[in-house]
Amino acid sequence: MKEVESLYAQAINIIDSVADDLITASHHIHENPELNYEEFIASETLARVGAQHGLDVERSVFGVDTALASSVGNGPTVCVMSEYDALPMIGHGCGHNVIATAGLGAAIALGRIAPHAGGRLLYLGTPAEEGGGGKIEMARHGALEGVDVAMMVHPADADLTTIDAIALQQLEVHYEGRAAHAAAAPEQGRNALDAAVLGYMAVGALRQHIAPTERVHGIFTKAGDKPNIVPREAEMLWYIRSDTTRSLEELKHRVVSALESGAHATGCSCTTRFVGNVYADMVDNTPLGARYIAHAKHLGRDVRIPSSTSARVVGSTDMGNVSHLVPSIHPMIKVAPIGTAIHTEDFARYARSREADQAVIDGAKAMACSAIDFWLDASLRGEISADFARSNPDTDVL
């Protein structure tokens, strides 16, 4: 007991000593938002600050130019992850600057402690969570080999045990018609935009008959050139979400059928293409999550189960894929007032607030102490493994 308490204190003191640098890095990443696989400023910042505090961070690893990795020690392996990509137009509306630097703070502390705790730290900087599936690409290149548990924290409007993360697949749709002068000879045209609009409406009708937890939402990415030309082409991008990768398969085919109906009605053709990595549902490891909750509560945070509060976050993440490969946790940490939705301009502002800065430090501390528990408590490691086996993970997620 004295040993673990001593290591807790060491981790907390280390994180406090680097807090100013972590917060400065969080602000710098926030001020320089970068999209999927373009996070060169963010990855350089994390590697540089890590090196300043004794963490040897390698860049451009596991097949991804903006990925990071650092390994320290030997023994049971804890993987701490950072995300740092942003969103188009609204920058860090998901607060990945907080994720990035909380992960780095935990890694700096654990990197110093691992050799004395009989464990191994693996720190991974994982780009392109916002649709690019950076963790999936890295796992395909061996990033998770030898990893026993993985963890990260994600900002939200409340402290929650997890995100309600469901499986996701992206779908591109292309309609092909026939151009014509819309006033002089409309009868010669076949309107691809009409086909797309009808397909969109068909998906709207489909929504009445899917599971309440499923989500289907899309945008028009091409809708014609001029009003007086019958649109020859129209294109859309859709996100299809379901509870698991297994239930997602059925929903994908239903959505495609609905979209194709617009082409049949207008005499156009329709081509669909599933793109990107499939995101799996998130399976949080209960014993590991309990350790994080205990440490977060010790720091003054009221961590709640999503079903017990109105402050739920529903979405998709490539951390879900990780959670089917190794025992994982994805707790949410409060940075904004209750009711502030992620992926909004309001949330982007709160991601660079005093509350967000405190979340960087608290998240780092709670993860570091949870990792120490894993290293020192063999019975906890057994409970984590047993819980993971009971979760019936889907190993076909890469």
pLDDT 10s digits, 226-244: 999 999 999 999 999 999 9
Q: Are residues 124 and 234 in the same domain?
A: no
Q: Locate 138 and state its tokens.
A: 């890295």
At residue 229, φ and ψ (nearest 5 deg) are -120, 120
Count of structural domains within the chain:
2
Q: Are residues 244 and 346 in the same domain?
A: no
At residue 307, φ and ψ (nearest 5 deg) are -65, -15
Q: Are residues 206 and 250 in the same domain?
A: yes
271 assigned to some structural domain: yes
Q: Are residues 338 and 256 in the same domain?
A: no
pLDDT of residue 307: 79
Burial of 4 (0-12, 13-18, 19+ CB in 10 A): middle
Asked if 97 contacts 351 with a C-beta cutoff of 8 angstroms, the reply is yes
Q: Are residues 289 and 269 in the same domain?
A: no
Q: Are residues 302 and 348 in the same domain?
A: yes
Q: What is the dihedral of CA 320, 322, 323, 324, to 10 degrees?
A: 100
The contacts of residue 97 (CB under 8 Å, 6+ apart) are 26, 27, 29, 30, 42, 84, 351, 352, 356
Q: Are residues 28 and 161 in the same domain?
A: yes
Q: Are residues 347 and 235 in the same domain?
A: no
Q: Are residues 301 and 337 in the same domain?
A: yes
Give me the amino acid identity at 302: D
17 assigned to some structural domain: yes
Sign of CA dihedral 61, 64, 66, 69: negative
41 assigned to some structural domain: yes
Asked if 124 contacts 79 with a C-beta cutoff of 8 angstroms, the reply is yes
138 assigned to some structural domain: yes
Least Cα distance to 47 among 32, 60, 33 occurs for 60
395 assigned to some structural domain: no
Using the 3D structure, point to which of 279, 310, 338 is the last residue of a domain: 279
Q: Are residues 122 and 218 in the same domain?
A: no
Least Cα distance to 255 among 233, 279, 277, 272 occurs for 272
Structural domain that includes position 80: 2-165+281-390
pLDDT of residue 308: 75
398 assigned to some structural domain: no
Tally of residues, the chain: 398
Give me the amino acid identity at 9: A
The contacts of residue 315 (CB under 8 Å, 6+ apart) are 163, 164, 165, 166, 342
Which residues of the chain fall short of a pLDDT of 50? none
Asked if 142 contacts 307 with a C-beta cutoff of 8 angstroms, the reply is no
Give me the amino acid identity at 340: T
pLDDT of residue 2: 75
93 assigned to some structural domain: yes
Using the 3D structure, point to which of 250, 279, 308 is the last residue of a domain: 279
CATH number at residue 80: 3.40.630.10
Give 3-state DSSP helix, strand, coil % of the chain, rounded to 5.
45, 20, 35
Burial of 292 (0-12, 13-18, 19+ CB in 10 A): buried
Q: Are residues 144 and 207 in the same domain?
A: no
Using the 3D structure, point to which of 256, 279, 302 is the last residue of a domain: 279
pLDDT of residue 395: 87
pLDDT of residue 68: 98
Q: Are residues 266 and 339 in the same domain?
A: no
62 assigned to some structural domain: yes
CATH number at residue 247: 3.30.70.360
For 344-372, letters b (16+ CB in 10 Å) and e give: eebbbbbbbeeebbbbbbbbbbbbbbbbb
